[in-house]
Amino acid sequence: MKLDFKKLGMLGAVLLGAMSLNACLDSDDAAPPMQDAGFVAFYNLSPDSEALRFFFNDHLINQEPTKYANFFGYVPFETGNYDFSVNSENNSLDTISLNVSKDRRYSIFAVNEFENLELVSYEDAISIPSTGKVSVRFIQLSPDAPQLKVAVEGIENPIGNFAFKQASAFTELNELLNKDIYLIDNETQDTLLTKEVNLENGRIYSIFSKGFINTTDEDQELDFQIVPIN
C-alpha cells in the first residue's frame, strides 16, 4: 500500500473540514486550504488487536476502523499541539501528545499486544535521495522480538541493531532489486526472517518489523512491511 500525498491530503482535508477545523466555505466544492499545516499518518501495528479508531482532541479521525497492518494518512493538521488517542469498541486504549510543526510529516503507530496497546510517534524527516540511491528508515515494532540486527544482501554493514520501538534515521542505500533483507537475533545471530525486496532508485521507504515471534497464528507471525512514502 502506497502513501499518495495528493490523494491522502485531499482525504485528510475532507475529514478535518467535516470536523470544523477550518472556517466555513462560501462553496461546498472544496475544503479550505491550510496555510500552516503538518501531516500525520496512522498505523495499526498491534498484531492481536481489533480494528482501531484514532482521535485527535476527542474528535474521530477515521470513520472506518483500521485493521492490523493497515494505515491511512497523511492527514493535514494545523500547526499546534494535539492529543492523539486510539480506542476499540469505544474503550480508550492510549493517548499521546504531539506538537505538529509546519510542513513536517509524522507517523503514529498503535503497537504492542492488544492488552498492553500503546501509541508511539516518529517524525518522518525525509529528503530526496541522491541519484541511484534509495532512502530507508527502519523501526522495530515486533513486541516480543529480541534485539534485531537488520542486514541487507550485498551490503557489508547492517542498517543497525534495534530493540522494540527503536528507529533509525532515513539512510541512503544503493538501489535494491531482488535483494534480501534479513532480520537477525543480535544475541544468537540466528536469522529470524529473510525477505526479498525491490527498493527503487529515487524512492523513500519506511520499513518496520511487525508481528510476534511466539505465535501459532500465521497472520500474526514476525514479518516486516515496506511503505513507499514518495
pLDDT digits (tens, 9 = 90+) for 127-180: 899 998 999 999 999 999 999 999 999 998 899 999 999 999 999 999 999 999
Look at residue 66 and tell me whether its pLDDT is greater than 90: yes
- Give the whole-number percent of the chain exceeding pLDDT 70: 86
Topology agreement, domain 1-124 and domain 128-230: yes
Question: pTM for the full model?
Answer: 0.85
Once rounded to an integer, what is the mean pLDDT over residues 6-23?
36
Delimit the domains of the chain by residue range: 1-124, 128-230
Note the pLDDT of residue 34: 72
Average of per-residue pLDDT values in the chain: 87
> What is the CATH topology of the domain spanning 1-124?
Immunoglobulin-like (2.60.40)
Look at 190 and 26; give whichever has higher pLDDT.
Answer: 190
Strand residues in the chain grouped as ranges (E)? 37-44, 53-56, 59-60, 71-78, 80-88, 91-100, 105-111, 118-123, 133-140, 148-152, 160-162, 171-174, 176-185, 191-199, 204-210, 223-228
Architecture of domain 128-230: Sandwich (2.60)
Look at residue 215 and tell me whether its pLDDT is greater than 50: yes
